[in-house]
Structure 1
Amino acid sequence: MEEQYRYFLMDLQLFADDGMGEKTEKATPRRREEARKKGQVFKSTDLNSAIILIAGSVASFMAFPYMVNNLKSFTTLYLLQRTQQDFSNDYIYFMLLEVLIIMGKMIFPIFLTTFIVALLITYLQVGFVFSGESLTPKLERLNPVEGFKRIFSKRALVELGKSLLKVIVTGYIVYSVMRKHYILFPRFIDMELIAGLQVLSSIVFEMAMKVGLVFIIIGIADYIFQWYEHEKSLKMSKYEIKQEYKQTEGDPQLKSRQRRIQRDIAMQRMMAEVPKADVVITNPTHFAVVLKYEASKMEAPVVVARGKDFMALKIKEIARMHGVVIVENPVLARTLYYNTEIGDLVPEELYQAVAEVLAFVYKQKKRVV
């Protein structure tokens, strides 16, 4: 009854006021898990790009001396030590291979840093997700109407706004940094190559850091927007929540009916054991416990049926119809009812009391015979 009442209340809540199709409810844990399995997770690519930009800029600035030394060694090797080398096809191939190795050494620290940072920031946003559903071809993507809807959607307008903001911010930062250091550019003519590259790298690093910091702010705002859109897309109608509840918990009405059928079957089986029993112990109106004992097969008498109130009356009625002896013993009936279940042996401490009852029953049967 309690579960049916709870289900009834849920029905009223689900269908009150709001229509079935309105998605006004927060997504359930199951809905979130299903969306995650399909690869529907939210993340900000702008935040990723901003952090990768800063990480790459810092790695480039820190690795700059290492890169210059490698380039210097390579230049010295070919301009001073290998000037007499024959310029054959084999030598060109060997030189090309060395150039690729040197470039790899110079780029590897930057590549490794950005790769690790990209994996880390993506993992922090969405965790570990693997789903091939996003790669599955969908015919609706070829629909021109749906394509126009995507082009002029709120998301597309937001992306356009972000792109314009990035262009304006990047242009302003580049302009302001160039204006700040414009006095240095004419002096590059008099500087040594290494010194000029160091100054130029500092200017570029300053631009990259300022752009990256502004992009992080844009990325955080984009992250909040993506979270809002994701939550909105997962929202469910009250009807969907009801259907999910039925699928996960089972239809309460169906479950109640199944339990009722199971109780009926159990009751029928229990009542079928009463005619085969030896004695029914009652209190005399509220409780009835049915015992059966076969000395050759059982260690002690077994409880084959038990009931209270209406069930007790039904057990006694069947017992009278089949000639099963009914013994009134209120204390023993209550004790057996509260301390045993169907199929249990009589507890050891009740052996004496039950033995006396069975002895009385056997005497009654002998007299009848």
Structure 2
Amino acid sequence: MAESSDGQEKTEDPTEKKLREAREKGQVARSRELTTTVMLMTAALGLLAFGPMVVSALGRVMVSNFSLRRAEVFDTRYMIDGFLSAVAEALIALAPFLVLLVVSAIAGSIALSGWNFSVQALAPKFSKMNPLSGMKRIFGPQGAMELGKALAKFFVIGICGLTVLYFAFEPVMGLGMEPVNQAIAHSGELIFWGFFAVSASMIVIAAFDVPFQLWNHKRQLKMTKQEVKQENKDTDGSPELKARIRRTQMDMAMHRMMEKVPEADVVITNPHHFSVAIKYDQNKMNAPILVAKGADLVAFEIRKIAQGNDVPLMASPALARALFFTTELDEEVPEGLYLAVARVLAYVYHLKQQFGGAYERKDLEMNDLPIPEDMQFDAKGKKQ
């Protein structure tokens, strides 16, 4: 197992940040065997597709350049023009094949990790010119792997080449008995299929090299537990800071909630463990809204603020628990509790209309309200 400079084992998978930074530095998974295989197979298929056209064009070039009159041979200008013309015709004939090779080389290179045009990736790395680093790569695990791949390629390609020669021995020996044009065509066919077979043998090497390169790239980027912890700390901040931020956010949310309690029409209580503040404006709201809720100390604070601002307190344990566990802040009361809340509000409005602010300020009580069975909870939030 790889170890860091402080002796800790690198057992953790690289984080997204680590992978992104490595990519920016040009450290990505690459398989030269995959690129070579793609290029060789593309070249073989390119020969099959464009071979007759290329051979025909090159044949015309050779015929034209070996059919010169004596005067043309000693004419310098004609010879230069003829040379340039022959080169142009050969390039035009070879262009599709060469473009296909360039495309295959690019496709093979980006197949594993995609494009990478970051400045750091393109910048020259002078550290690779260090002889000591080169010796470490040669005699280290990476060098051993490269040696193993080289030997594997030698044996695979060698066996494939010998197999091709074995089956092509008689046709090759028979070329001398064929007419010239037929022999040339036949030899081209033998060369193509031999090249195709040897190129296809590289698929075996690439099939082993690709997963190894992916695994090795991930292994090289592995991190220690301390590195992961430090990265999380640098990215998200220290746990103490995050806890302090959460506490500040909770305090601010609590302060905003408490500011809405004086605006409530009624505070429904458990009467001691839960408190929920309800507000309803028939001109602006479709249904009553829960503007504050809390348990234990928060519930006590809600009741205290309500009493200080002449907001009626209504003791209804079942309704208080139902609203507390089913409704979030600033949400409308669930449809199942419409009737129960409506009775509470109607009773409170009746008291205000009949007595104004003169009725005795103590907890009101209203039980036997219609609470649906699926909204009946105990003090721990479990459905009864």
**TM beyond 0.5:** yes
CA distance in 2, matches of 1:194, 1:163: 39
Query: Contact 2:289–2:330 at 8 Å: present in 1 too?
Result: yes
The equivalent of 2:366 in structure 1 is none
1:239 corresponds to 2:233: no
CA change 1:301–1:354 in 2 (3 A) is farther
The equivalent of 1:229 in structure 2 is 216
Instruction: Give the alignment of 1:25-36 within 5 angstroms.
Output: 25-36=12-23
CA change 1:272–1:202 in 2 (3 A) is closer
CA change 1:223–1:356 in 2 (3 A) is same
Gaps of 5+ in 1: 1-18
1:334 partner amino acid: A
The equivalent of 2:98 in structure 1 is 111
Which segment drifts farther, 117-126 or 93-102? Answer: 117-126
The equivalent of 1:262 in structure 2 is 249
CA distance in 1, matches of 2:7, 2:84: 68
2:229 partner amino acid: K
What is the TM-score of this pair, normalised by structure 1?
0.70
The equivalent of 1:67 in structure 2 is 54
Instruction: Give the alignment of 1:189-338 within 5 angstroms.
Output: 194-246=181-233, 254-271=241-258, 282-289=269-276, 305-318=292-305, 322=308, 324=310, 326-330=312-316, 334=320, 337-338=323-324
Q: CA deviation at 1:234?
A: 2.5
2:207 partner amino acid: I
CA distance in 2, matches of 1:235, 1:66: 52
The equivalent of 1:147 in structure 2 is 134
The equivalent of 2:31 in structure 1 is 44
Output one character per residue of 1:269-315: Cα deviation in whole Å (capped at 9) or x when no partner.
44456678786554543444557899999999987644333323233
What is the TM-score of this pair, normalised by structure 2?
0.67
2:356 partner amino acid: Y
1:72 partner amino acid: G
Q: CA deviation at 1:23?
A: 1.0
CA distance in 1, matches of 2:109, 2:269: 72
- Aligned residue-pair number: 347
* Higher helix residue share: 1
Query: Contact 1:289–1:336 at 8 Å: present in 2 too?
Result: no
Other structure's SS at 1:23 match: coil
Instruction: Give the alignment of 1:339-354 within 5 angstroms.
Output: 349=342, 351-354=345-348
> Which of 128, 132, 137 is the matching residue for 2:119?
132
CA change 1:284–1:361 in 2 (3 A) is farther
Gaps of 5+ in 2: 1-5, 362-384
Query: Contact 2:72–2:79 at 8 Å: present in 1 too?
Result: no
CA change 1:300–1:137 in 2 (3 A) is same
1:55 corresponds to 2:42: yes
Other structure's SS at 1:94 match: helix
Other structure's SS at 1:236 match: coil
1:362 partner amino acid: G
The equivalent of 2:88 in structure 1 is 101
Query: Contact 2:266–2:348 at 8 Å: present in 1 too?
Result: no
